Amino acid sequence: MYGLTAGAGARRFAPWPINAGGYEHGMSTAKNQVSPPEFGPAFQQTLGDLFAWRRDVRRFRTDPVPAELLDRIFDMACLSPSVGNSQPWRFVTVDEPARRQEVSRDFESANDAALQGYQGERAKLYASLKLAGLKEAPIHLAVFSDEETAQGHGLGQATMPETLRYSTVTAVYGLWLAARAFGVGVGWVSIIHPETVTGLLDVPESWTLVAYLCVGWPLQEQVKPELAVAGWQSRESLCRQILRR
């Protein structure tokens, strides 16, 4: 097993074979004359299980995640949809301990402030929740959206420019599902000050922080969301209605 090695700069990763008759991910010379695979009932059922068992993970082991496994997960994330095929997602791992600590401190400050917004029993419950695994997770992953990417040539964005950031969100969920399929947990930490965290990471000015993720091996598996188990918020039927117009 490999941990993430220290080092500056960017790391590319090797594509892994997709069942598409030799189609190489991302290579424009690939032929488009292949038959789609069959997604049968067993896969459909297991896909449902994957969706059901994917949690927002806050409790991690500190063990590293192998680099080649991360490669596969990122590769799948990059197959997510994007407006105009713009692919605006930008991944930054926050490896330096001092930076990680700054992010943890920012989380604690934002979390303390958030607690002030609740009273009584609700406040007690909030204070009891573990809402991030920033200290334990072997990987901190900041996912940015490049608001000025030329890719896609603006197609689809004229009246709904937010679709660029939404495209980056789909890459986050794609990464999340892919990770879960390999037993790797992801937790999305939004209890931070995005400008503060962005400022720590020395990224281009056109990049907007969309998601700050903890990634690693979860301490436990559960099929119910932690916030439902804790009594904060259960799943509601409202979201499963369809309005007809």
Per CB under 8 A, which of residues 44..73 are in contact with a second copy?
Answer: 44-54, 56, 72
Residue carrying the six token digits 């009891």 = 128
Nearer of residues 92 and 134 to a second copy, judged by Cβ: 92
Chain positions 112 to 151 lying near a second copy, rule: CB under 8 A, are 113-114, 117-118, 122, 126, 131, 142, 151
The CB-of-147 to a second copy minimum distance in angstroms stands at 13
Chain positions 157 to 216 lying near a second copy, rule: CB under 8 A, are 157-160, 162-163, 165-166, 169-170, 172-174, 176-178, 180-183, 188, 190-194, 200-203, 210-211
2 binds a second copy (CB under 8 A): no
Nearer of residues 1 and 119 to a second copy, judged by Cβ: 119
Which residue type sits at 152?
G
Nearer of residues 30 and 136 to a second copy, judged by Cβ: 30
H or E segment and range at residue 113: helix 97-115
Per the structure block, which two tokens stand in for 150?
């030329």
219 binds a second copy (CB under 8 A): no
Of the residues 79, 101, 128, 206, which one makes contact with a second copy according to CB under 8 A: 79
98 binds a second copy (CB under 8 A): no
The CB-of-136 to a second copy minimum distance in angstroms stands at 19
Nearer of residues 1 and 8 to a second copy, judged by Cβ: 8
95-103 contact pairs (CB < 8 A, 24+): 95/4, 95/6, 95/140, 99/200, 99/201, 100/134, 100/140, 102/200, 103/134, 103/140, 103/192, 103/197, 103/200, 103/212
190-199 contact pairs (CB < 8 A, 24+): 191/107, 191/110, 191/111, 191/114, 191/131, 191/132, 192/103, 192/106, 192/107, 192/110, 193/106, 193/109, 193/110, 196/106, 197/103, 197/106, 197/142, 198/142, 198/144
Site string for a second copy, 11-30 (x = CB under 8 A): xxx--x-xxx--x-xx-x-x
